[in-house]
Structure 1
Amino acid sequence: MTTLRSAVFAIPGDINTVTGGYIYERRLLQGLCDQGRDVEHLELPASFPDPSEAEMAAAIDQLQALPEDRVLILDGLVFGAIATRGLARVRAPILAMIHHPLALESGLDPQRADHLFRTERDNLRLARHVLVPSPHTKSILVERYGVSPDHISIARPGIDKPRRVTARVSPPLILSVGILHPRKGHDILIAALSRLADLDWRAVIVGGRWHPDHADELAQMISRGNASDRIILAGKLPDDALQRLFSEASIFALATRYEGYGIVFDEALSHGLPIVSCDTGAVPDTIPEAVRLLVPPDDSARFADALRQLLENEDERARLSGAAARLASGLPGWSDTARAAGAVLDGPAFG
Structure 2
Amino acid sequence: MIAIGPLNVRLDLLAMMASLLILYIGFKKIGLSEKDRDVVLGTWFAGFLAWKGSAIVLGLASTGSLALSLYATGGTWSILIAAGVIAFFVYRLLPSLRGYWLFSALFLWFAMTLVVPKYGTLPLLSSSQPLHLYMAALIVLLLIATWRWMRTPTLGALLWTGVGAFSIWLIGSIVTGTLKLWWIIPFFLLIAVAAYVARPSQKAIQYGLGLIVVLAIINASLPDETPRLEAGSSQTGLNIGQVPPNFELKRTDGTTFNLSKLRGERVVVNFWASWCPPCRAEMPDMAKFAREQDDVTIVAVNTTTSERDVADAESFVAPYEDAFEVVYDENGMVGDAYRIQAMPTTYVLDENGVIVAKQFGAIDHAWLDAQTN
Q: Give the shorter-chain TM-score range.
A: under 0.3
TM-score if structure 2 supplies the norm length? 0.25
Would you tell me which structure has more helix in proportion to its own residues? 2
Rg: which structure is higher? 2
